[in-house]
Structure 1
Amino acid sequence: MDEETAYCPGLMVIGDEILSGRRADAHLPHVIGRLRERGLTLAWARFVGDDAEALIGQFTQTLAEGRPVLCFGGIGSTPDDRTRQALARAAGVALDRHPDAVREIESRFGAQAWPIRVLMADWPQGSTMVPNPVNRIPGFHFRGHFALPGFPELAWPMLEWVLEHHFPPCRPPEILRCLRIEGVAESLVVLPMRRVAERFPQVRLASLPRLGSDAHILLSVRGRGVIVESAFESLCAELTGAGMAWRSCPDG
């Protein structure tokens, strides 16, 4: 895995209740914020239901990609919890009852851990434990996939452990520079943006137009280090040279 891939995990939120609207997702904004604080960025986000074949298909893709994936939901013991089984099927491995997970669950529930709660210790063969400081029912790590509960109260403390133990040390956060243009068609900024992108491939340029009574275009340059300022100055010069008036804005 190259460094940039390691710094850019994917996010998968699992559960029919999210797709039906019975529950609102809270993981996406939280994960984006926590990653940003560590200088990490989210590569993609997917919302998947509880259908077994759909989950297997998604995990087949993500296992092949080799990118870290933060998975929320579907690791309980009820029949609709299929994350463990689908990930094992996609990888072509069996489910194994992990002894460390059994000990954690037994320490929480004693004899009442059997025969149902210990099902949550059945993980894809080769998994390692993600500890749960709230109720001691752990999640697991398997081939770059971190399977966490769907409940934020449980999942987010576990996410902190994952970030600390499985991701690179914090790096400088991204720098974002933005400007605003009014009274210009978006097609006119395409060539200036392309020229800057060709000169500064290390940064990302984006255009965000807005229609209506407050019609304008927000252009942004995002990246790390002094190269961002150089690229932004180049973009400003391109726009000025093309006769476009612009003004800086704080954050887009």
Structure 2
Amino acid sequence: MAFGAIIVGDEILSGRRTDKHFPKLVELLQARGMKLSWARYVGDELGGLVEILRQSFAAGDVVFSFGGIGVTPDDRTRQAAAAALGVRLALHPAAEAILRAKFGDEITPHRLQLGVFPVGSGIIPNPFNQVPGFSIRDHFFVPGFPVMAWPMVESVLDSRFRHLHHAEDYVERAITVRDGYEGGLIDLMEAITAAYPDTNLFSLPTVAETDRQRRSLELGVKGPAASVSKAMEQIKVAVGERGYAWQDKV
């Protein structure tokens, strides 16, 4: 099952704000032995939002969408989700009850709009201020505020996708190969990939930008602990036999 992220907001694309959701989602997934497969950044323009959501709904991935679910004129994510699915928007009964309990006599039609979601949606509880997000078709829509969004994402991962957790048996190990370059180790990478199909091999080269820097290559494997251990031992032996110096990546 692939996990994706959609991060919404003109303020991200213009540089007025720095996105924090991407690294946090990577962290939350990795802590549970899962990984992020893709991420998209998109502005507040409705047409662009609709197109991206049509693509992601069609792909069948699990997607976390951050931002654009308020009720100001530039918040268009809920409308885009409904349009992408070809359904109407409606006030969700459970969301309405939460909002009425929160605001009491100060409830207004404007505040009730916070509970308007595409028909068929479920709600995502918000432990920070109780205003819920919504989910539909394995897409989970949360606010752009990290203090709200991250606990909501964690609750989804630990309830809806607990069966996918394999953190205890999912590890990542790597070595730094001094003066190594990918071209000289491709055959080794291919052999490791073929021998351990339940793992994912990665290589991250570093280019020497000054005379004082040395070229290096971070070479590693991630996956089930037993397979990663065997793969890394084979990599270390092979790299040493080829005359490269290496050290464990901490």
Q: Structure 2 vs 1, CA of residues 185 and 154 (structure 1 numbering), >3 Å: closer, same or farther?
A: closer
Match of 1:159 in 2: 153
Match of 2:192 in 1: 196
What TM-score do you get using the length of structure 2 for normalisation? 0.91
Structure 1 vs Structure 2: percent identity of aligned residues?
A: 38
Q: CA deviation at 1:125?
A: 0.8
Q: CA deviation at 1:17?
A: 0.7
Q: CA deviation at 1:143?
A: 0.7
Task: Say yes or no: does 1:171 pair with 2:166.
Answer: yes
Match of 2:249 in 1: 250
Q: CA deviation at 1:239?
A: 2.8
State how far apart, in whole Å, the 1-side matches of 2:217 and 2:175 are: 8
Match of 1:222 in 2: 222
- Listed one character per residue, the Cα deviations across residues 150-177 of structure 1 (whole Å, up to 9, x for unaligned) are 0111212222321222112432343122
Q: 1:181 touches 1:244 (CA, 8 Å); kept in 2? A: no
Q: What is the SS of the residue equivalent to 2:185? A: helix
State how far apart, in whole Å, the 1-side matches of 2:146 and 2:64 are: 13
State how far apart, in whole Å, the 2-side matches of 1:136 and 1:235 are: 50
Task: Say yes or no: does 1:12 pair with 2:6.
Answer: yes
Identify which of 108, 112, 120 aligns with 2:114: 120
Letter in structure 1 aligned against 2:235: L
Q: 2:178 touches 2:245 (CA, 8 Å); kept in 1? A: yes
Match of 1:235 in 2: 235
Q: CA deviation at 1:208?
A: 1.1
State how far apart, in whole Å, the 1-side matches of 2:190 and 2:183 are: 12
Letter in structure 2 aligned against 1:239: V
Q: CA deviation at 1:13?
A: 1.2
Identify which of 149, 153, 167 aligns with 2:143: 149
State how far apart, in whole Å, the 2-side matches of 1:214 and 1:249 are: 17
How many residues align? The count is 244
Match of 1:66 in 2: 60
Q: CA deviation at 1:59?
A: 0.6
Q: Which moved more, 1:28-37 or 1:59-68?
A: 28-37
Letter in structure 1 aligned against 2:107: A
Structure 2: 5+ residue runs without aligned partners? none
State how far apart, in whole Å, the 2-side matches of 1:110 and 1:184 are: 65
Q: 1:180 touches 1:247 (CA, 8 Å); kept in 2? A: yes
State how far apart, in whole Å, the 1-side matches of 2:238 and 2:158 are: 42
Structure 1: 5+ residue runs without aligned partners? none
Q: 1:179 touches 1:219 (CA, 8 Å); kept in 2? A: yes
State how far apart, in whole Å, the 1-side matches of 2:97 and 2:125 are: 12
Q: Which moved more, 1:17-26 or 1:229-238?
A: 229-238
State how far apart, in whole Å, the 2-side matches of 1:177 and 1:244 are: 21
State how far apart, in whole Å, the 2-side matches of 1:27 and 1:185 are: 32
Q: Which moved more, 1:60-69 or 1:205-214?
A: 205-214
Letter in structure 2 aligned against 1:231: A
Q: 2:179 touches 2:244 (CA, 8 Å); kept in 1? A: no
Q: What is the SS of the residue equivalent to 1:86? A: helix
Q: CA deviation at 1:66?
A: 0.9
